Chain A
Amino acid sequence: MTGTALLFLVLGLGLIGWIAGRARAAAFVRSAKGGPRGTVNSLPYYHGWFVAICAIAPALAFMFIWQSISPSLVTNMVLSAPAAADLPQEGFARAAILSEARAIAQGFQATAFQGESERLVPLYKGALAYYKWIGVAATLSLLFAGGAFAFTRIKPDFRARSKVERVVMFGLLVASLIAILTTLGIFASLIFESWRFFSMVSPFEFLFGTEWNPKSVVTPGADNGYGAIPLFWGTIFIGAIIAMIVAIPLGLMSAIFLTQYASATVRKWMKPILEILAGVPTVVYGYFAALTVAPAVRDFAVMLGVSNAASDNALAAGIVMGVMIIPLVSSMSDDSIAAVPSAMRDGSLAMGATKSETIKQVLLPAALPGVVGGVLLAVSRAIGETMIVVMAAGYTANLTANPFATITTVTVQIVALLTGDQDFGSPHTLAAFALGLALFVTTFFLNYVALRVVKKYREAYE
């Protein structure tokens, strides 16, 4: 019996428990003739849920725990058999044989490459079957025990509803805690792997070194080519400078035009178009940047007389990224302009200012904190953006402000370092986590500041 089949069996039996519990409670309701229905505390289906939860919850919890501990039990049983006594003691060879025998026994692999593993296959099959049936038997007995216990508890005055509602509340709380767990998971994994990285490469070299040319074997104390300054510069240059030069004027002016000048019809059509711009997947932008924009930018550079223009130049990636960000800047500016009290606008217009004077001298200064918050969010999005730069910007680290040169970014290097079949503990893989940590901390900080700015500003006008 596979895990899926067992899961469906458990759920099916739970359904039967639900029906049985409900039927029993319904019988109480019917037997309470003459009197008001209030003699039965809870509606029948709450009794059904009570039985179903009591039956399923322990069984599922057991299945989950069993899933994680049974592999080691199986391995122990195989190792304690006499046939396994003459296995090589050395860790790696031993593990390879065991995992191969296991794969064959489970049917994932057809033939053995190592002679010893062939011998262990029947042992593994036996152990797997043994523990599987123990698991199935224990799951089902837990299920029946829980179900029977709940079924006997059903009485007219049993408070099934409050019990079920307590479980529901617990479920709601657990669902909300998943967000905290995810954040902690991200933080813990980044910190842990970065810690391992910084035990090999000095944090000083990583943060202040100017040469990025990571070696796969590191020597402590020496320069290993893990200086991330060129990557940080590239990320800022593409994401926070070039992209923003495109996105801020276009986004802000679009928002002003759509909210202050455009007729209702134009607004109705143009807003969804800007939203489409935000909905295009980044891989499509990346392909467009690499295929169309980058060659055009290079030709333009050659026309200007820049001889060393690269085909994977920073400008193309930055421009396309800026276009991707336009809707974000536009909608944030839109919100903050709309939040300016109309009395301020009307006052300015009544004094005889033109619309553009009102916008430039009244609305924008008043909305500035919100716009700044939006720009900070946009920067945070741009520096974390991966596919556009992976496809259109280069892989060579370059500490230059020449927009026609190849420049690499943090996200490009994360992808590059994790490409290829490296061992998880290698400095390359760990360096990707250190870069990830730097990225995470920066975006977290930017988002925090942006949200604070926006919130504070909203309160000022409320």
Chain B
Amino acid sequence: MSEAMMDPTPTDWNGQIMQKRIARRYAAERRFKAMGFLAVALSTVFLAFLLFTMLGQGLRGFQRTEIAVDFDFPALTSGTTAAAISGTNADAALNSMDVPGIVELAVAQQYGDISEGLLTAGAAGNVRQMLIDNPGLVTSKQQLWLPVDSRLDVAFKRDGEPAAEQTVSALAQKDALRTAFNWTFLTGADATDPSAVGIWAAFKGSLMTMAITLMLAFPVGVLAALYLEEYAAKNKLTDMIEVSINNLAAVPSIIFGLLGLAVFLTLFGMPRSSALVGGLTLALMTMPVIVIAGRNAVKSVPPSIREAALGIGASPVQVVFHHVLPLALPGILTGTIIGMARALGETAPLLMIGMRAFIPAAPEGFTDATTALPVQIYLWSDEVNQGFVEKTSAAIIVLLIFLLGMNALAIYLRNRFETRW
């Protein structure tokens, strides 16, 4: 024992040295705690900043600017009747009417020298649709609100190019502009003009990809989890399966994309950038997540349940499928939803299997070329046109809402159905 510890004099806690030392130690304590608080606060602030940036930009993406255009239909169409453009011949009649020409003429008459490039490319299609929906319009003078070009759209919502700003302020003085909800964004597909793009095609592509992923990854994942947890003997094969699954869960997602490219596209010759190949690739990525969650859920079912079932004569398969699986299902479902949410946000593997093409229509089948929501976000983020900024953020809002919804569902399932033994 050292000299100091033998010293019988008690420590003078109230002395100046000791008081100072304690003050210093408490200050260090407070600093440490403040640092911890700062770390949590920084993470939260970053998340809030990210979400607010996306919301601030993205909400504009759900709106579009419209301009009032007066159509003197009787004069413009030389007296076409409502009956002529309705019924079975409507298409042919509208084609011979030259709607784009009429729109151009009407705009030129009303706005004169600034009429060039005022409307978006799809505006004539909008007029045509209005006439099909309501043929009666054609017999009278009408004021129609049509979407403006994306350059003006940007200038009206925030700061755009000087030329566009001038046009917009001139139009705004005439009260010719208004902001309306952009239905096209929810129902349309990709386009070259940002004011005509929509996310429905990408969304449908994502849904179809997810359907394939779920159909493959869920059964395989659950069965593998049951096998490993309930039946697998302790041997080399089981060890290899476990190592594979743990490793697959941590392999970078882009590697799965390379696998999809080399095996599904090149070796099996499956259709490029289709929901089928995307779903297969993501299923391989999601399966280990489901297996790991499934094993934990199966493990948490108490052995007494198995013993009771065995005791009254159930076979090992009956024990698992009649008793263990139903009790573990909420946990498995929670893990599945979390895995699916991750797959829904995954972009890199889909890029590898060719999902980066410009696809202006929603896919009809599982083998059609398609795009997916996160890939669409990536493609739009690459566009130079300023109008795409808000569309990208708007698509991100849609994606985040779905991910949050899925995660909330997972948490609800966990709280509602999970039994604590």
Contacts and interface: CB of A to CB of B under 8 A. Distances in A.
Interface of A: 161, 165, 168-169, 171-173, 175-180, 182-183, 185-186, 189-190, 192-193, 249-254, 256-258, 260-262, 270, 272-277, 279-288, 290-292, 323, 326, 354-357, 359-360, 377, 380-381, 383-387, 390-391, 411, 414-415, 418-419, 424, 432-433, 436, 439-440, 443-444, 447-448, 451
Interface residues of B, number: 82
B61 to A, nearest CB: 13
Contact of B250 (A251, A291, A377): A377
Contacts of A261: 33, 36-37
B358 interface: no
B404 to A, nearest CB: 8
B251 A440 contact: yes
B346 A355 contact: no
A93 to B, nearest CB: 19
B29 A284 contact: no
21 contacts: A172-B226, A175-B221, A176-B227, A179-B248, A179-B287, A180-B240, A180-B244, A186-B255, A193-B262, A254-B43, A257-B36, A260-B36, A273-B47, A277-B46, A284-B400, A287-B396, A357-B29, A384-B251, A436-B254, A443-B252, A447-B247
B378 A283 contact: yes
Given A175-B220, A190-B255, 10 more contacts: A172-B226, A182-B284, A260-B36, A261-B37, A270-B44, A272-B411, A273-B47, A274-B43, A288-B54, A381-B252
A179 B261 CA distance: 18
A384 B258 contact: no
B35 A253 contact: yes
Contacts of A290: 381
A56 B253 CA distance: 35
B389 to A, nearest CB: 7
B197 interface: no
Interface-central residue, B244, B245, B411, by most chain A CB under 10 Å = B244
B400 to A, nearest CB: 7
Contact of B317 (A169, A256, A326, A360): A169
A447 B246 CA distance: 9
B142 to A, nearest CB: 40
Interface of B: 25-26, 28-29, 32-33, 35-40, 42-44, 46-47, 50, 53-54, 219-221, 223-224, 226-228, 231-232, 240-241, 244-248, 250-256, 258-259, 261-263, 266, 284, 287-288, 291, 315-317, 321, 341-342, 344-348, 351-352, 356, 374, 377-378, 381, 389, 392-393, 396, 399-400, 403-404, 407, 411
A206 B227 CA distance: 43
Contacts of A260: 36
A291 B263 contact: no
Contacts of B43: 250, 254, 273-274, 277, 323, 326
B44 A183 contact: no
Per DSSP, chain B at the interface is: helix
B253 A386 contact: yes
Contact of A411 (B26, B46, B247, B348): B348
A186 B247 CA distance: 11
A280 B411 CA distance: 16
Given A354-B28, A411-B254, A281 B345 contact: yes
Nearest to B342: A279
Contacts of A282: 345, 347-348
Contact of A284 (B33, B315, B399): B399
A21 to B, nearest CB: 18
Contact of B39 (A168, A183, A257, A387): A257
B36 A256 contact: yes
A168 B317 contact: yes
Contacts of A190: 255, 258, 262
A251 B42 CA distance: 11
Nearest to B262: A189
Given A182-B248, A282-B345, A288 B53 contact: yes
Contacts of A387: 347-348, 378
Contacts of B316: 165
B227 A173 contact: yes
Contact of B254 (A274, A285, A384): A384
Given A254-B36, A386-B252, A179 B25 contact: no
A189 B258 contact: yes
A323 B50 CA distance: 11
A130 B117 CA distance: 57
A289 to B, nearest CB: 10
Contacts of B247: 183, 444, 447-448
A275 B47 CA distance: 11
Contact of A418 (B255, B261, B288, B345): B261
